[in-house]
Amino acid sequence: MRIFRDHKAIPDNARGACSAIGNFDGVHLGHQHVLDLARGPARERGRPLGIVTFTPHPREFFAPDAPAFRLMSPEARANRLAKLGVDLLFDLPFPQIAPMTAETFMKDVLADGLGLSHVVVGANFRFGKGRAGTVRTLQDAGADLGFDVTAAELMGADAPVSSTAIRAALSRGEPGAAAAMLGHWHRIEGPVVHGEKRGRTLGYPTANMSLDGLHLPRLGVYAVLVDIADGVHAGTYHGVASLGVRPMFGVNTPNLETFVFDFSGDLYGTHLSVALVEFLRPELTFDGLDALIGQMDGDSAQARHILAALDG
C-alpha cells in the first residue's frame, strides 16, 4: 500500500482511484462495508482501491483538550487498511482541509488533486467548512468534476455499528462485543518503551506500551494475543496484560504492561500489536508482593486456558 500525505502532485499511476472517504477509526465492520462498496467498482474498472482520511481526527482538531477517544493510532489504521487490500491511502493533514468550503474540497482535493473516479461515503457524511457539504452536494457536483458517488447506509440490525458503540463495549470490559463490531480483535499498537522494570524482580518481565491519545478500555487484566511483525522474534504469542495505573505502586499514568508467555528476548523498541481477547479482573491493590505474585500466577494460568481454546 502506498501512502500520500498531500493532495498535490499525486503521480499519474495513483490517480483515478475508487476511494472511500472517512475517518475509519477502528476500521470496524461499517467501515469495511464502505470499503467494499469502493472495491467493486475498482475491480470492474481496473482502478486502484483507495481511502481518503485525515490526521489528526477532526474531533481532535476542533476539541484538542477533550478526553482521548481514538481506537487506534494513524499507524495502526494504516496497517489494518493494508491488510484489507487498500492500494492507496491518502492520509491528508486536516488543518489544511478544515478551512476549505465544500466546493473547494470537491474540486481542489478530490477532483484536481487526487483525480478520483469513484467516491464512496457514509449516508450521513458531511464535509467542508461549517459541515455544509452533504452526500447530495457530492453527488450533484461529482458529475461535473469527473467522479460518481455511492452512499453507504449504516450497518447494524438493532443499532448502527459505530466507533462510539465499540468504545462503550471496551469501557465495560467487553472486548468480545467490541470484536463482533470491529470484525477483528481490538488492538493496541506501538513501540515497547522502557518502564520501571519492576516486573523482572517479580518473575514477570513485561513489555510496556504507551496509551497516549487512545481511548482507555476498562482498566484491569486481560488475556491477550501479541503480534511481533518482524525481526528475529516475529510471530504471534499468547500473553497476559495489565492495562492501568498500577495502584499497588502508586503510579497514575495509564499504560499497557504485557507479559508474553514462553518468550525470552529483548523487545525494547520493537513494534507490538496487542489484541485484547478477554477481561480477567479489575485492577487491585494487594497486601504485599507475595499476594501480588500469587494473583499474577492465577491470571497467567487463566489466560493460558482461554487462549489455548482459540487454537483449538
pLDDT of 36-53, one tens digit each? 999 999 999 999 999 999
pLDDT grade, residue 248 (50/70/90)?
Answer: very low
* pLDDT tier at 201, thresholds 50, 70, 90: low
Domain that holds residue 31: 2-152
Q: Is the pLDDT of residue 249 over 50?
A: no
Query: Is residue 125 one of the residues assigned to a domain?
Result: yes
- C-beta of residue 117 within 8 angstroms of C-beta of residue 52: no
pLDDT of 158 above 60: no
Q: Do 194 and 277 sit in the same domain of this protein? A: yes
CA separation for the pair 149, 19 (Å, rounded): 10
For residue 300, what is the domain's CATH number?
Answer: 2.40.30.30
One domain, residues 124 and 247: no
CA distances from 178 to 19, 111, 172, 182, 217 (A): 26, 36, 10, 6, 10
Q: Are residues 89 and 187 in the same domain?
A: no
> Does some domain include residue 239?
yes
**One domain for residues 187 and 148:** no
Give this prediction's pTM: 0.90
On whether both 14 and 122 belong to a single domain, the answer is yes
Summary mean pLDDT of the chain: 91
CATH number of the domain within which 28 lies: 3.40.50.620
Cα–Cα dist 121/105, whole Å: 14
Give the Cα-Cα-Cα angle 189, 191, 192 (nearest 5 degrees). Answer: 110
Percent of the chain whose predicted confidence (pLDDT) is above 70:
93
The domain tally of the chain equals 2
Burial class (CB in 10 A: 0-12, 13-18, 19+), 150: middle
pLDDT of residue 232: 85
pLDDT at 156 over 80: no
Does any domain span residue 164? no
271 strand-pairing partners: 191
Hey, what amino acid is at 122?
A: G
Q: Is residue 82 part of a domain?
A: yes
The rounded distance, in Å, linking the Cα atoms of 142 and 146 is 6
Annotated catalytic residue, options 103, 257, 278, 283:
257
Residues 132 and 188 in one domain: no
Say which residue the cell 486456558 belongs to: 305
**In this structure, is residue 163 part of a structural domain?**
no
Could you give the C-alpha distances from 89 to 4, 50, 128, 133, 229, in angstroms and in order?
6, 6, 20, 22, 20
Determine, yes or no, domain membership for 174.
no
Give yes or no for residue 197 having a pLDDT over 70: no
Query: Residues 104-112: what's their mean pLDDT?
Result: 98
Tell me, yes or no, if 257 is annotated catalytic.
yes
Does 301 lie in the same domain as 220?
yes
Is residue 171 included in any domain, yes or no?
no
Decide if 290 is inside a domain: yes
**127 and 188 belong to one structural domain:** no
Are 100 and 206 contained in the same domain? Answer: no
Judge if 118 and 189 occupy the same domain: no
- Between CA 279 and CA 178 the distance in angstroms is 12
* Residue 281 main-chain phi, psi, to 5 deg: -165, 160
Question: From CA 19, how far away is CA 9, in angstroms rounded?
Answer: 18
pLDDT of residue 157: 47
Q: Judge if 14 and 123 occupy the same domain.
A: yes
13 plus 117 within the same structural domain = yes
pLDDT band for position 80 (50/70/90)?
Answer: very high
